[in-house]
C-alpha cells in the first residue's frame, strides 16, 4: 500500500509485502550496471536472503555489518535482516582498518555480509572483536536465495516491531569517530511515507535515481520511498559527473536527490544541447549553497 490517510506500513517487512501485492510485475529496482528486479522479485528474494541468513546463525537482535557496493545484495540483505528482527550496520566501502574496526567494535556486530573485493580489509581487521562470529559472502546468500523456496522456513516469523531497530547507521566521522544512530523500522516508513503523502508526492509514474553509495542513508530511504509509492528506483554504481545527466535521460528519471558537492561538479561540466532534454520534475538537495540554486535551475530547467 502507498502512504494515505491510514498511514504507511509500519515496518520495512510490511512495506515489501504490500508493494509485492500491489505492483507485483512492476520494476522496483534497476541497477546500472546490473540486475533489474520487480516488486515481486524483491519480496521473494528478501525472504530467501532471510532464510539463508538464519541458516547461517543470524537471529533476532543481532547486529550484522554490510560491506557491499551498489548492487542488489545490499538492499536485499538489509530488508532480509529487517524481516528477521536483526539490525543492519552499513560499513563504508572506503573504510580502512581503523574505522572498520571501530564501527564493528562499537556496535558489537556478530557477522559481516561482504561483497567481492574486500578480502584485504577483512584480513587486517583487529583481533579484539569478540562478538564477530563469521563473515558471510553476499554471493553465497544470493545463490541460496535463488535456489530455495523459503516461505515455509519463515512461517514462524511474525511482523517485526515497528519500534525495533532496523539499522545502526554510523555517521561519516567529520566531527570525531563515527557515531552510531539507532534507526527503528518506523523511522524508515515515516520518512518514506512523507515523500508520498507530502512533497514531492512520489507515485507510480515516477522514476527515482540514486548515485550515492548504499552505505549512506540516502539510497536506503530511496528504497523505502519506492516501496511505498510504486516508483521505479534506478541505482547507479556511483556518481560520475560526466555521464550523470545522460543516465537521467536514458532511464527517463523524474526525481532524484543530490547532496553536497554533486551540483557544483555538474555545473563544471561543459554545457550540452541536451541539458533540458529530460523528464525530471523536481530535484531535492541538501548542503548546497543557495547562490547555486538559480544557476542549476536555469541550466537544467528543474525546480
pLDDT, tens only, 34-63: 999 999 999 999 999 999 999 999 999 999
pLDDT, tens only, 74-131: 999 999 999 999 999 999 999 999 999 999 999 999 999 999 999 999 999 998 998 9
| Per-residue pLDDT at 1 exceeds 70 | no
Give the separation between CA 213 and CA 237, rounded to whole angstroms. Answer: 8
In this prediction the pTM is: 0.94
Give the separation between CA 38 and CA 33, rounded to whole angstroms. Answer: 16
Instruction: Supply the mean pLDDT for the chain.
Output: 93
| Per-residue pLDDT at 293 exceeds 80 | yes
Give the pLDDT mean for 25-32: 98
Range from 40-54, 104-118, 150-164, 169-183 carrying the lowest mean pLDDT: 150-164
First to last CA, the chain: 29
Q: How confident is the model at residue 3 (pLDDT cuts 50, 70, 90)?
A: very low
pLDDT, tens only, 230-277: 999 999 999 999 999 999 999 999 999 998 889 999 999 999 999 999
Q: Cell digits for 1?
A: 500500500
pLDDT, tens only, 202-226: 999 999 999 999 999 999 999 999 9
Counts for the chain of helices (H) and strands (E), in that order = 11, 12
Structural domains in the chain, CATH included, are 12-234 (3.40.50.12780), 239-300 (3.40.50)
The string of DSSP letters for 217-256 reads: HHHHHHHHHHHHH--EEEEESS--TTTHHHHHHHTT--EE
Comparing CA positions, the residue from 68, 67, 69, 71 lying closest to residue 97 is 67
| Per-residue pLDDT at 2 exceeds 50 | no
Amino acid at each position: 500500500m502507498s502512504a494515505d490517510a491510514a498511514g504507511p506500513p509500519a515496518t520495512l517487512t510490511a512495506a515489501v509485502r504490500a508493494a509485492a501485492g500491489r505492483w507485483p510485475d512492476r520494476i522496483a529496482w534497476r541497477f546500472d550496471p546490473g540486475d533489474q528486479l520487480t516488486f515481486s522479485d524483491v519480496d521473494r528474494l528478501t525472504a530467501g536472503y532471510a532464510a539463508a541468513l538464519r541458516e547461517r546463525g543470524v537471529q533476532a537482535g543481532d547486529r550484522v555489518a554490510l560491506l557491499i557496493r551498489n548492487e542488489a545484495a545490499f538492499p536485499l540483505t538489509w530488508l532480509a535482516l529487517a524481516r528477521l528482527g536483526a539490525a543492519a550496520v552499513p560499513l563504508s566501502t572506503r573504510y580502512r582498518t581503523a574505522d572498520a574496526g571501530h564501527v564493528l567494535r562499537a556496535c558489537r556486530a556478530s557477522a559481516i555480509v561482504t561483497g567481492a573485493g574486500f578480502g584485504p580489509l577483512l584480513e587486517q581487521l583487529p583481533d579484539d572483536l569478540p562478538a564477530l562470529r563469521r563473515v558471510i559472502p553476499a554471493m553465497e546468500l544470493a545463490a541460496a536465495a535463488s535456489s530455495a523456496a523459503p516461505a515455509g522456513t519463515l512461517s514462524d516469523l511474525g511482523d517485526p516491531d515497528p519500534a525495533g531497530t532496523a539499522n545502526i547507521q554510523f555517521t561519516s566521522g567529520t566531527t570525531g569517530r563515527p557515531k552510531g544512530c539507532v534507526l527503528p523500522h518506523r523511522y524508515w516508513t515515516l520518512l518514506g511515507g512523507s515523500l508520498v503523502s507530502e512533497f514531492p508526492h512520489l507515485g507510480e509514474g515516477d522514476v527515482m535515481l540514486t548515485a550515492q553509495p548504499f552505505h549512506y542513508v540516502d539510497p536506503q530511504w530511496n528504497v523505502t520511498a519506492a516501496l511505498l509509492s510504486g516508483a521505479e528506483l534506478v541505482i547507479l554504481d556511483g556518481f560520475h559527473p560526466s555521464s550523470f545527466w545522460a543516465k537521467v535521460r536514458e532511464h527517463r528519471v523524474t526525481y532524484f536527490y543530490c547532496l553536497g558537492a554533486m551540483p557544483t561538479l555538474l555545473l563544471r561540466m561543459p554545457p550540452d544541447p541536451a541539458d533540458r532534454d529530460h523528464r525530471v520534475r523536481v530535484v531535492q538537495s541538501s548542503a548546497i549553497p543557495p547562490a547555486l540554486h538559480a544557476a542549476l535551475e536555469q541550466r537544467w530547467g528543474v525546480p
